[in-house]
Amino acid sequence: MRQRGIFISFEGSEGCGKSTQIQSLTETLKRRSLAFVLAREPGSTAIGEKIRHLLKYTPVALCPHTELFLFAASRAQLVREILQPALLAGSFVICDRFLDSTAVYQGIARNLPFDLIQCVNRHAIEDCVPDITFLLDMDAHLALKRAIRRRTAQDPCDRMEEEPPDFYEKVRKGYLERAEKEPERFVILDAEKTADSLSQTILKILEARWPFQLKTPYGD
Ligand SMILES: Nc1ncnc2c1ncn2[C@@H]1O[C@H](COP(=O)(O)OP(=O)(O)OP(=O)(O)O)[C@@H](O)[C@H]1O
Ligand SMILES: [Mg+2]
């Protein structure tokens, strides 16, 4: 399949600021009247949201393989139902987490074999790989503190936020290792900078890489 849109993913551990940056970027795209599709992982399709609920709120520990296959099931549906059609139509696609989350969380932090993760991811996404991935990198404990502060009464027991502290260190290291292996796709950002300065940096990077696609006839 030939993609025509631009696929942007945001990665990083809990609380690093992915949703904050995505909101800022989508506001810019809206102001510029540019078409975009926003997706979060797991979820965004009807079945994906059910899988998200299972993953987040199942009160017993899921074994790592179960986690891997549930994430992959959600992703396979998302790619075929939403992302591929949107990219074919020339839209921006913005994803709050994508394949790198699986590689890091299930591969590095849960110790599943790398070739298994690769194989499952390859079948789930086919050729739907992000054009650019912003990694919001920061001290794992600080990020977690941010996430816990933000946690609301409706979201009291997210399983992923109840891991031992060294889990988050592994996640951070895992992301950085992945980014080093694919420097042409990843952009590593210091997530301790202010939200505004991060938004400006992200926009500048996107405008430099895709000046035509981000241009607006109305100014911004
Ligand atoms: N650059 C920043 N500096 C300080 N605080 C920030 C920054 N970016 C986001 N925050 C705050 O940190 C908290 C977590 O941010 P956000 O929800 O965007 O993170 P996230 O990466 O989406 O987390 P999760 O993985 O849990 O969805 C929020 O309360 C947000 O307002
Ligand atoms: Mg978020």
Distance CA 213, CA 6 (A): 9
What CATH number has the domain bearing residue 75? 3.40.50.300
> What kind and span of H or E run contains 88?
helix 84-88
pLDDT of 13-54, one tens digit each?
Answer: 989 999 999 999 999 999 999 999 999 999 999 999 999 999
Q: Which domain holds residue 207?
A: 6-214
Residue 120 located in a structural domain: yes
Q: For the whole model, what pTM was predicted?
A: 0.92
Distance CA 220, CA 212 (A): 14
The protein residue with its alpha carbon nearest to ligand 1, atom 2, reads 195
For residue 195, give Cα distances in angstroms to 138, 139, 206: 13, 16, 17
Domain count, the chain: 1
Is residue 71 within 8 Å of residue 41, measured between CB atoms?
Answer: yes
Distance CA 14, CA 147 (A): 6
**Residue 160 confidence (pLDDT) above 70:** no
Q: Which of 20, 95, 141, 190 to mutate to test the pocket of ligand 1 (most atoms within 8 A of CB)?
A: 20
Selection from 161, 173, 171, 168 nearest residue 141 by Cα? 168
Q: Look at 14-18, 37-41, 138-142, 146-150 and tell me which has the smallest mean pLDDT.
A: 146-150
Residue 1 located in a structural domain: no
DSSP-derived secondary structure letter, 197: H
